[in-house]
Chains A and B, each alone.
Chain A
Amino acid sequence: DTGVSQDPRHKITKRGQNVTFRCDPISEHNRLYWYRQTLGQGPEFLTYFQNEAQLEKSRLLSDRFSAERPKGSFSTLEIQRTEQGDSAMYLCASSETGSNTEAFFGQGTRLTVV
């Protein structure tokens, strides 16, 4: 296993279009996180899955954002009707269950909304 994989790496889209990103976590990890990072800032939490259950969503995640993890393995993050303010790096991370766990991050998907 080569770590957390995200696809695509880059996405340029026109305002108003829908986009979908995919994350494949490390295979034995049952926790999966989505974060958003804008230039010069630290990552901000968006949502978190334990297996297929979405356990928490940030207030940053407007109604235009939806995330799924249908079989407890890969996850998708969809943004509908994209806005210029959605331009950011979207990072996925995964971890094992446990109090001493650490999260491993994917390479990220850089979204540019024009």
Chain B
Amino acid sequence: ELKVEQNPLFLSMQEGKNYTIYCNYSTTSDRLYWYRQDPGKSLESLFVLLSNGAVKQEGRLMASLDTKARLSTLHITAAVHDLSATYFCAVIVFNFNKFYFGSGTKLNVKP
């Protein structure tokens, strides 16, 4: 079964700092998703990465995908408190039609 691992699981950082969250997965896939979840809320779609080398940016967040390394990164630039949430990556295996989620990275940005 496909395994999706995120690290770190917890991240506490100061506003204005940069950091990267990593997502590794165990089998071939060319579709990777990043979601944000606020406490007690559902998942909000952030990025959909559909090919090797894909890079997408939205505000202070940038996501990339390296399918050969089976690795995606979510880079945070000049963090602000509003980014505090749990971030999940999810992988879908071609033809299997279901998403495998990582355990999440709980981000706390201190003002």
If A31-B97, A48-B98, A56-B97 touch, whether A102 touches B45 (CB-CB below 8 Å) is: yes
- How many A-B Cβ pairs are below 8 Å? 55
Q: Are A105 and B103 within 8 A (Cβ)? A: no
Task: Give every chain B residue within 8 A of A104 (Cβ-Cβ).
Answer: 45
Query: Looking at the complex, which one of B31, B40, B99 makes contact with A33 (CB distance below 8 Å)?
Result: B99
Residue among A50, A102, A108 facing the most chain B CB atoms (10 A cut-off): A102
Task: Give every chain A residue within 8 A of B99 (Cβ-Cβ).
Answer: 33, 35, 43, 45, 93, 103
Q: Are B97 and A42 within 8 A (Cβ)? A: no
A107 to B80 Cα, complex, angstroms:
25
Q: Which of chain B's residues 47-65 have a Cβ closer than 8 Å to chain A?
A: 48, 50
A105 to B42 Cα, complex, angstroms:
7
Judge whether A91 is part of the interface by a CB distance below 8 angstroms: yes
Residue interface mask B18-57, A partner, CB < 8 A = 1: 0000000000000101010000111111001010000000
B interface residues, Cβ below 8 angstroms from A: 4, 31, 33, 35, 40-45, 48, 50, 88, 90, 94, 97-104
A interface residues, Cβ below 8 angstroms from B: 31, 33, 35, 40-45, 48, 50, 55-56, 91, 93, 99-100, 102-108, 110
